[in-house]
Amino acid sequence: MSVAALSAVALGRALADRRPGFERRAARAVAATSADAWQLAVTEDLGYGCRAEGVRLPWSARFGGAYRARLERAAAVDPEVAAAFNDVLNLQRPVSSLGSPRIARRVLRPLRDRDPGPLSATVAAVLAG
């Protein structure tokens, strides 16, 4: 639904631009609105081993999968990382925002160095219950 709404907005903007080449601009604008959603979906699928047998993933995909795994672990104990990840999952911010220096530093910091915040207590309660 979010991608459909973002696509409708992009199409509306393209329709407002009356210059020649509308079709190409509209197609690119609509495709761009779904790029982050597709990246999230494909990254999740790769984490479950959904790929062609015998095909080695490129370095960028392996790095992305490892970063996402650390991101998910960090989000369980770090409210700032959790909020940033939630914004991306809800398509409110681009996937690239998870690589900002502030978030990357928090994701790559060893988990044992973190002060458990209120989010981790919530997660612990849900897992225990």
36 CB burial (10 A radius; 0-12, 13-18, 19+): buried
90 and 48 together in one domain: no
pLDDT of 129 strictly over 60: no
> Which tokens sit at 17?
């631009």
The residue segments making up the domain with residue 81 are 58-129
Is this structure's pTM higher than 0.85?
no
70 and 104 together in one domain: yes
More confident residue, 58 or 106: 106
pLDDT in tens, 49-74: 666 677 777 787 778 888 988 998 89
28 and 51 together in one domain: yes
82 and 113 together in one domain: yes
CA separation for the pair 99, 90 (Å, rounded): 17
Chain centroid to Cα 49, Å, comes to: 18
The total domain count for the chain is 2
pLDDT in tens, 14-24: 888 878 888 89
Q: Among 55, 73, 100, give the residue marking a domain's end.
A: 55
DSSP symbols for 3-61: HHHHHHHHHHHHHH--SS-HHHHHHHHHHHHHHHHHHHHHHHHHHTT-S-TTPPPPHHH
17 and 41 together in one domain: yes
50 and 72 together in one domain: no
pLDDT in tens, 33-49: 888 888 887 777 776 66
Q: Among 55, 77, 95, give the residue marking a domain's end.
A: 55
